[in-house]
Amino acid sequence: MTLAGKSAIITGSNSGIGLGIARELAKAGADVVLNSFTDREEDHALAASIAEEFGVGARYIKADMSKGAECRALIETAGGCDILVNNAGIQHVAPIDEFPVEKWDAIIAINMNSAFHTMAAALPGMRARGWGRIVNIASAHGLTASPFKAAYIAAKHGVVGMSKTVALETAQEPITCNAICPGYVLTPLVEAQIPDTMREYNMSREEVVKNVMLTRQPSKEFATVEQLGGTTVFLCSDAAAQITGTTISVDGGWTAL
Ligand code: NAD
């Protein structure tokens, strides 16, 4: 599988799943644009290290995905892209009658509205070049619900629905649009919660993972960022040219329950 000559923009990619996807796309030969809302030396160094490791073009562009104009500017500054991965996301947990309005607005903006803006900005360039792949990182919570996550679940269901619409609007073009729905993924953020939870419940690492974190993930294993990157690369392959408007769950059986 080679993506040499293709350019990819991955939103929210200076850590976690986005970074894992960027690395797998670069490994497959794509030039990559990393993004987040910060503009630190280490953000640019991360892009440089990917360029060196995989021998591809890689750069970092700061853009705040909570702001529509910055979402669109990211695509413009990058000069468009062949592959767009909407991955930036945040979470907040609270019952709906106590859910802070500013958290609701931020989650809807970053997790859902940003995909509207980046897709709208990227599609004309994909059409002009005659090829495009859009991969939206939703969640098992784009297909199911849990209490206390109203904004996240609304946004992720929205992303799944929006992906179907864009797939229909591009169905007769060499462009596809799909959503990946991960279950629990072992990212640095999740890893960092394990020691505290071990202390809180007086449990071993294995018990915390199986009995606390992965209660709804039948495999009792985390998905990995490499697996999500590999799924993204597959969706960019010729084998996936007729896969559009659908979801791929990478959730260890969560949504089969
Ligand atoms: P993470 O916190 O490691 O990564 C989130 C990324 O988004 C970071 O790079 C962060 O800098 C960026 N980001 C946050 N706010 C931003 C903003 N305003 N503008 C630009 N970038 C911004 O988390 P993650 O676990 O890697 O999550 C990545 C995506 O995967 C999210 O959409 C999340 O909802 C989804 N997801 C994660 C899991 C999981 O278990 N980790 C499961 C299902 C879905």
Residue 111 sits in a domain whose CATH number is 3.40.50.720
- Find the residues whose C-beta lies inside 6 A of ligand 1: 12-18, 36-37, 64-66, 87-90, 110-111, 137, 139, 182, 184-185, 187, 189-190
Distance CA(86)–CA(170), nearest Å, equals: 17
Nearest Cα residue to 191 out of 149, 146, 219, 224: 224
Predicted local confidence at residue 208, as pLDDT: 92
For 165, other C-beta atoms within 10 Å of its C-beta total: 12
% pLDDT > 90, the chain:
96
Q: Which atom of ligand 1 is nearest to the CA of 110?
A: 18
- 48 lies in the same domain as 94: yes
Q: Over 90: is that where the pLDDT of 1 sits? A: no
- 106 lies in the same domain as 142: yes
Determine the distance separating the centroid of ligand 1 and the alpha carbon of 110, expressed in angstroms. 9
Clarify whether 60 is annotated catalytic: no
Protein residue closest via CA to atom 23 of ligand 1? 16
Work out how many domains the chain is built from and give that number. Answer: 2
Kindly report, residue by residue over 147-167, the tens digit of the pLDDT: 999 999 999 999 999 999 999
Kindly report, residue by residue over 4-41, the tens digit of the pLDDT: 999 999 999 999 999 999 999 999 999 999 999 999 99
State the residue range of the domain holding 195.
186-221
Nearest Cα residue to 160 out of 246, 253, 57: 246
pTM of the full predicted structure?
0.97
Please indicate, yes or no, if residue 2 is contained in any of the structural domains: no
Determine the distance separating the centroid of ligand 1 and the alpha carbon of 237, expressed in angstroms. 24
Kindly report, residue by residue over 196-242, the tens digit of the pLDDT: 889 999 999 999 999 989 999 999 999 999 999 999 999 999 999 99
Determine the distance separating the centroid of ligand 1 and the alpha carbon of 94, expressed in angstroms. 19
Kindly report, residue by residue over 177-198, the tens digit of the pLDDT: 999 999 999 998 888 889 988 9
DSSP string across 66-83: TSHHHHHHHHHHHT--SE
